[in-house]
Amino acid sequence: MEIEQLKSQINGFLKANQLQHFTAQNMADGLRMNSASQYQQVVNALNALVHDGDVLDDNGQYKHSNHAGHTIGDYRANDKGFGFVKYDAELPDFFINPENTLQAMQGDKVSVSTIKPSPSPDRGPEGKIEEIIEHAYERIVGTFSMGSEAKGMIGELRINDKKAMNFKVLINSNGLMPNDGQVVVAEVTRFPDKIHPRELIAHVTETLGYKDEPGMDILQIVYAKKVPSDFPKEVLDDAAKIPVEVPESEWAGREDITEQTLVTIDGADTKDIDDAVVAWKLDNGNYHLGVHIADVSHYVTEGSTIDNEAYTRGTSVYLTDRVIPMLPRNISNGIASLNPNVVRLAMSAEMEIDPQGRIVNHRLHTSVMKSHARMTYDAVNKILEGDIFVQEEYAQLTPMFKVMGELHDILYKMRKERGAIEFDAPEAQIIVDEDGKAIDIKLRERGTAERMIESFMLAANETVAEHFDKLEVPFLYRIHETPDEERAKSFFEFSKALGHPVYGDPSKVTPSMLQKLMADVAGDPAEQMISTMMLRAMKQAKYSSDPVGHFGLGAQYYTHFTSPIRRYPDLTVHRLIKWYEKHGYGAESQAKYADKLVKIGEDTSTKERRAVDTERDVDALKKAEYMLDKVGLEFNGVVNSALKFGLFISLENTVEGLVHISNLTDDHYEYDESHAALIGRSKHRIFQIGQKVRVKVLRVNKEERTVDFILIDTDSAPTTEIRVASKSNGKFGVGRNRDERRKNERRGKSEGPKQRRGPLDAKQGQKRDSKRNF
């Protein structure tokens, strides 16, 4: 049955029985869709109806929604009073006029009715907010200031969140009585309304400390992002009951691989070690690769207090001076961590790989293991580079590392041949002193060892995903969908305008097409521009029960299996492997997780984005702090974005700042969308992505996490033949003779500036070692 027809039937039934709740199984039984594939269709249809806002999901119990006929989405406010509602990753947002916002705030979950339909495919409909379903700012973190002119108020709260800075937060006496200058958590009791459109009232529920105390700046972001940072007592109590060693009684039913020469390879500061590897050459010329992962699911049982807290967190969060773990530390750094020379329980993926990089055989099983050495990336890199002193230090392991290096080369070549796209953006390591103050920024180097472990983790993740996809059972995948046609078309046009056409159909983009483009532009002045815009054209990777593959990796099958200590999806995958191994693959066995995985995928994807946003905001805060004493100094940088209001510049140390258009005083600059560039009307100077520039630090605001630059020596900027049309014509694009432009496009000429290669700072929110980047 077509999904739209199925949705219509289900929605009609639920609407006719509005006072009742039904499970997916109830619906499948009523529709007589009881095979495994039919049941999955019912689950997919129900989840689509939930996404559309027509049906409510109350913990697996479905009912008709009061918001049916309206669209549910997230509100995005503009300082000028209007806003937008994002309701679909692919479709343009609703536009909301100021009189129709219902005083919604940034991030509020809202119900929207349509006033005017979309005028064109690239513009969204106009809507009206009918209800604020969930407030984003139910809890606010800020610095308390004693005293207020408002009657009955004891003070005000100054908040650092840029999205809510324009709102006044009044504090009443119903909660705690903080001291002046304390950072507090306040619960909002009155949100903006027509009478008070920029005002909130709240009471203090928690005091965190004083503003200038070490670490308080990061803690404010953690609380503002609603990242759980302290474990509840009952969780810690339950975690404390877990033994610190593996008793022999737990070896039963597991394969003993303690004699295999397994090693762990991580950063020197890593404490939660969740993977060990081993490799050797087989007599038939193939390679054996063993990827052995901490069996966290043995200790974190489904539905336990520890499990519920892990689900709430979704992932560990890696900040400049701390890690907020998903699991209590006696698990993440203790019994589950694959520390050297101690027995540990593991989930094992053993693969046989031929010289072409094909996995020709594999086994998935539980095991008992022992790491024979705790290696660092630095040490393994030196071994692979031929450092005889380090090779002698690890003489027994060096032959295996050389085999691993060979296997990595084979796997890397295989991925490249199938079209995997390589983006190697610089990643910053922010150095802080004992008080948490940023004192230096270094670039992390990724050597062969980091890439080698990445290759092995990718191979294991693909193997597990393919195994269960071919069994056609409900499973959780890590997916990266193909770019949608509209975005792809825009990128193709952009690349062509720079003289580098993409050969292929934008409605059927393949990784190979983009990989070939990147090979064509390697070393070209346009390389940075094209790679940056390519990243922006792509979709976000996420978790899903729908096995659509991973576009960026060029992988038909992909999941996350290798990091259950720090990612809840990996923990779920381990449970699924064990469940199917014990209960088989029949319809009854499949039913246990079939209607849970969509929700798990959505929730863990949301929590992953929360973690990435938190990491990004903390990095921006610490980078701004590092730049506080650099005002007036000059730096080399590269244009990271060109927008109507100015240029974002990335320095060589990855610090990003803005050159506002008001500070481009040598000419009148306007934005040319087709080249993503600012172009001077009189002198025809051009600034666009990837262009090297010299800047001076104009001002720094740590609280707002912003750095402002001015350009030095604009006279050295390249000029262009592109002419900007007059504003009176209603155009901000190219005003050059159309025939001449078409002629140059046919010749393949680039209309961009002559540039050298510069650093790319578009791949943000990365984790703290190479295994965390995919």
Measured CA to CA, the distance from residue 459 to residue 476 in angstroms comes to 17
How far apart, in Å, do the first and last CA atoms of the chain sit?
Answer: 36
pLDDT classification of 774: cutoffs 50, 70, 90: low
As a CATH number, domain 139-213 is 2.40.50.700
Q: Measured between alpha carbons, how far is 562 from 145 in angstroms, rounded to an integer?
A: 47
Residues 693, 9: Cα–Cα separation, whole Å: 60
Q: Specify the range with the lowest mean pLDDT, choosing from 180-184, 258-262, 659-663, 735-739.
A: 735-739
3-class DSSP state of 152: coil
Sign of CA dihedral 177, 179, 185, 189: positive
Name the phi and psi angles at 465, rounded to 5. -65, -45
> Confidence class of residue 766 from pLDDT cuts 50, 70 and 90?
very low
Least confident of 160-174, 267-281, 458-472: 160-174
Are 475 and 542 in contact by the 8 Å Cβ rule? The answer is no
pLDDT at 607 over 80: yes
CATH 3.20.20.70 fits 71-134, yes or no: no
The answer to whether 696 touches 708, Cβ cutoff 8 Å, is no
Q: What is the mean pLDDT of the chain?
A: 88
Name which of 687, 691, 668, 679 is nearest 736 in CA terms.
679
Closest CA to 245 of 368, 366, 348, 365: 368
At residue 687, the 3 state secondary structure works out as strand
Average pLDDT over residues 195-220: 94
Query: Do the beta carbons of residue 40 and residue 474 sit within 8 Å?
Result: yes
Q: How many CB atoms lie within 10 A of CB 207?
A: 15
pLDDT above 90: residue 365: yes
CB neighbour burial string for 211-224, b if at least 16 within 10 angstroms, e if fewer: beeebbbbbbbbbb
Contact 762, 532 (CB under 8 A): yes
Query: At residue 570, what is the residue type?
Result: D
Q: What is the mean pLDDT of residues 358-379?
A: 97
Report the distance separating Cα 683 and Cα 719, nearest Å. 8
Q: Looking at the chain, how many residues does it have?
A: 774
Q: What is the pLDDT of residue 773?
A: 42
User: Is 621-747 in the same CATH topology as 3-64?
Assistant: no
In the prediction, which pLDDT does 759 show?
A: 23
Rg of the chain, C-alpha, whole Å:
28
Provide the phi-psi class of 516: left if phi over 0, else alpha when psi is between -120 and 50, else beta: alpha
For every residue of 328-369, which 3-state class applies, written as one string?
Answer: CHHHHHHHCCCCECCEEEEEEEEEEECCCCCEEEEEEEEEEE
Model confidence pLDDT, tens digit, residues 708-730 = 999 998 999 999 988 876 554 33
DSSP sequence for 592-636: HHHTTHHHHHHHHHHHHHHHHHHHHHHHHHHHHHHHGGGTT-EEE
Q: Which residues pair with 172 in a beta bridge?
A: 153
Across 455-549, the runs of DSSP E, i.e. the strands, are 477-479, 542-544
pLDDT in tens, 63-112: 888 777 788 899 999 888 899 999 887 788 999 999 999 999 999 999 99
Report the alpha-carbon distance of residue 701 to residue 712 in Å, rounded. Answer: 21
The Cα–Cα gap between 279 and 58 comes to 47
Q: Where are the domains of the chain?
A: 3-64, 71-134, 139-213, 234-475+560-616, 621-747
Inter-residue contact 420 to 555 (CB < 8 Å): yes
Output the CA torsion 611→612→613→617 (10° steps): 100
CB 461, CB 561: distance < 8 Å: yes
pLDDT one-digit tens code per residue, 675-703: 889 999 999 999 988 899 999 999 999 98
Nearest in space to 511 (alpha carbons), one of 431, 417, 624, 607: 417
pLDDT the model gives residue 615: 96
Rounded to an integer, what distance in angstroms lies between the CA atom of residue 465 and that of residue 619?
33
> Tens digits of per-residue pLDDT, 243-253?
999 999 999 99
Cα–Cα distance between 543 and 477 in angstroms, integer? Answer: 6
Nearest partner of 114 among 77, 80, 63, 72, judged by Cα: 72
How far, CA to CA in Å, does 465 sit from each of 43, 255, 564, 764? Answer: 21, 22, 15, 26
Superfamily of domain 621-747: Nucleic acid-binding proteins (2.40.50.140)
Three state DSSP letters for 488-503: HHHHHHHHHHCCCCCC
In tens, the pLDDT along 20-77 reads 889 888 888 888 887 777 887 888 888 888 877 788 887 788 888 877 778 889 999 9
Confidence category of residue 421, pLDDT binned at 50, 70, 90? confident
**Domain 3-64 fold:** Arc Repressor Mutant, subunit A (1.10.10)
Measure the CA–CA gap between 142 and 161, rounded to whole angstroms.
Answer: 9
